[in-house]
Structure 1
Amino acid sequence: MSDTPPLRDRLKADLTSDFSVSASAALAALVALFAFARIDDSTTGGLLLALAIAVFVPYAYERVWPEEYASVPAVVWTISAALITSGLFVGVYQLSVDAGAGEYAPGIAFVVTVVVQYAVAALFMRARQNA
């Protein structure tokens, strides 16, 4: 027999750990989805931006960020990360459109945004560990 806990227990633990980060990231992703629809009519772009916020911001907080905050500071961290992510995504998206990437612009913006998210979080973690 395996010593791993049942799937129900693992899902409950994943959903309740850092709940304030997950919930605020989901809300920020919805806001970003609707805000991106005002900027551009690309459904793919809005969905990829929402994905970058709703999935990768909490993942970076949980896996890479060196500190764990209380609920209110964690929400502030999440909203700040979502705003930075949105700005980076929209900036790279617009640069890609201007460069003629056309239909590939949302994908380019998504990949660049996620890579920059993790690079910055990893650099911050390394700087904190070496300080």
Structure 2
Amino acid sequence: MTNDTSLGTRLKAELTKDFTVSVVAVLMALLTIYPLYRIGVSFAASFLLLLAIAANIPHAYEQYWPISYSGGAAVVWTISAALITSGVLIGAYQLALSFVESPYAGIIAYFVTGVVQYGIAALFMRVYQTS
């Protein structure tokens, strides 16, 4: 099986396809560190929120989101997704904290957040495709 494009060209295209979403997601993840530190969220939960924003949001956008945005729309979409992700993870963390210890609460919150992230993206994709 042959492919006309070089490996370098395909790699560059893959890395820059959703570059705006990836960069904004990483910046939003870094911006969440200080507020989480100030409110006393554990390091594990803070790290998992960073992971949920910086890795899961670009992945959900690329794999499940049916509309491809560019420029300002991609920035707004990513900021909105990061704010929703932060709210869900912090809420799930606080709820889980009332039942289990801190490290486990962070893990539970991360998984709940992942289910919500990918669930919303998959649901939107399904609704978008049927309409």
Shift of 1:10: 4.5
What is the TM-score with the length of structure 1 in the denominator?
A: 0.90
Structure 2 counterpart of 1:85: 85
Q: Deviations over 1:72-114 (max 9, x none)?
A: 1001000000000000000000001112343201100001101
CA distance in 1, matches of 2:40, 2:88: 15
* Structure having greater relative contact order (Cα 8 Å, sep ≥ 6): 2
1:37 matched to 2:37: yes
The answer to whether the Cα contact below 8 Å between 1:52 and 1:110 also exists between their aligned partners in 2 is yes
Structure 2 counterpart of 1:56: 56
Q: Deviations over 1:21-57 (max 9, x none)?
A: 0110000000112221112241111110000000000
The answer to whether the Cα contact below 8 Å between 1:48 and 1:107 also exists between their aligned partners in 2 is yes
The worse-fitting range, judged by mean Cα deviation, of 37-46 and 118-127 is 37-46
Which aligned runs of 4 or more in structure 1 are off by greater than 6 angstroms? none
CA distance in 2, matches of 1:64, 1:95: 28
Shift of 1:2: 6.8
Provide structure 2 residue ranges, at least 5 long, that are not aligned to the other structure.
none
In angstroms, what is the RMSD of aligned CA positions?
Answer: 1.8
CA distance in 2, matches of 1:5, 1:104: 45
CA distance in 2, matches of 1:42, 1:12: 37
Letter in 2 for 1:15: L
The answer to whether the Cα contact below 8 Å between 1:90 and 1:109 also exists between their aligned partners in 2 is yes
The answer to whether the Cα contact below 8 Å between 2:89 and 2:113 also exists between their aligned partners in 1 is yes
The answer to whether the Cα contact below 8 Å between 1:64 and 1:122 also exists between their aligned partners in 2 is yes
CA distance in 2, matches of 1:119, 1:18: 20
